[in-house]
Amino acid sequence: MYGRLADPDCTLGTDPRSDPRMVKAFAPFGLDGRMPAAPLTVDSPLEERIAFATFSEDGRGAIFDALCQDLPVASGVTTATTTIAGPDGNDITLFISRPDSTPEATRLPAVVHLHGGGMALGSAADDGYVKIREYLAATGLVVVGVEFRNSGGKLGPHPFPAGLDDCAAAVRWVAANRAELGVSHLVVSGESGGGNLTLTVAHKAKREGWLHEIAGLYAQCPFISNRWLDQCDDLPSLEENDEYFVSRHQLALLGSIYNPDGSHAGDATCWAAAATDDELKDLPPHVVSVNELDPLRDEGLVYYRRLVRAGVPAVGRVVAGTCHGGDLLLGGHMPEVFEASIRDVSGFAKSLG
């Protein structure tokens, strides 16, 4: 046993598995200790849960911005913005990054990037997500960040399926405009809540008959089980790594905002882990990357194993010594780990051409 299964008082700062560079970066913010208890529960009034998410968005954003300040801006990349029509009469802003040195008439793989935040918080314009996209673009990709509607925060409140529908619209727009964008094929990628959106976009595409437009899916630390408060013998990381940077109660609170009445709990387009074996069959190639010290680690690994059993070409990856999303969040403090994750996404996208 490891983590809090072995010692209930264990923290990121005391767990011997923790990468010391991560602990050093987190210590000034108190993130090397246990996360404070959320003041609300999933049974609190919805308005209070949404208000709490909106309130916490600023603090979360400030910490994330501070942590990524030490990561230099990617060089040789240009980013432009465009606006497309959303499915509900809404506008969707897309941030399109590409390398400056692309030879004329060369088509590059595209990555449609869906940012993290539990489908409730954050923005594609946040500095950390901009840097992820631009570092990916610098490897020779066209990378499209999607400003989808959130279920909470400044871009909310828009519960399921609003955010998913926006992401699907963006994927379809990139596929339809490949020639103009200089794109050969596209992969969808995202982390945390964006990881769930990545996986659920595939299920939506399969149901609606446009799965052929997606060459592959790369989900990082995906937030998919919708079982965070349950006793889950198959998901020991929920207890083992609870309150390491994120807590299962915080995760459940965000999930309750995305699907407030729980009516879509069994819908694979809401929560990827709800997919049946038949729904997993015939999906495109997948990579599921998880973090060793993440409460969400095992739900990602379980999904990966189910994909393999369903005959889907799939790879599972565990980033040792890191918390939820730590390989992407701490690029300035753990550059080798960050760059390895960037290379892996890029290599996957290029391998499908």
Cα separation, 26 vs 29, in Å, equals 6
Q: Which 8-state DSSP code applies to residue 289?
A: E
pLDDT at residue 304, rounded to an integer: 99
User: How many domains does the chain contain in total?
Assistant: 1
The pLDDT tens digits along the chain (353 residues) read 899 999 999 999 999 999 999 999 999 999 999 988 888 999 999 999 999 898 889 888 889 999 999 999 999 999 999 999 999 999 999 999 999 988 777 899 999 999 999 999 999 999 999 999 999 999 999 999 999 999 999 999 999 999 999 999 999 999 999 999 999 999 999 999 999 999 999 999 999 999 999 999 999 999 999 999 999 999 999 999 999 999 999 999 999 999 999 999 999 999 999 999 999 999 999 999 999 999 999 999 999 999 999 999 999 999 999 999 999 999 999 999 999 999 999 999 999 98
Contacts of residue 170, defined as CB under 8 A and 6 or more positions apart, other chains included, come to 84, 92, 94, 112, 144, 146, 148
Buried b (16+ CB within 10 A) or exposed e, 243-271: bbbbbbbbbbbbbbbbbbeeebeeebbbb
Residue pair 273/255 in contact by the 8 Å Cβ criterion: no
In the chain the first and final C-alpha atoms are separated, in Å, by: 42
| 21 within domain boundaries | no
- Give percent helix, percent strand, percent coil of the chain, each to the nearest 5: 40, 15, 45
Count the neighbouring beta carbons within 10 Å of the beta carbon of residue 1.
9
pLDDT at residue 133, rounded to an integer: 99
Cα separation, 292 vs 46, in Å, equals 32
Angle between helical axes of 162-176 and 193-208 (0-180°, round to 10)? 70
Residue pair 258/120 in contact by the 8 Å Cβ criterion: yes
| 156 within domain boundaries | yes
Domain that holds residue 162: 41-351
Residue pair 131/331 in contact by the 8 Å Cβ criterion: yes
* CATH number, domain containing residue 54: 3.40.50.1820
Residue 310's identity, in one-letter code, is A
pTM: 0.97
| 219 within domain boundaries | yes
pLDDT at residue 267, rounded to an integer: 99
pLDDT at residue 59, rounded to an integer: 86
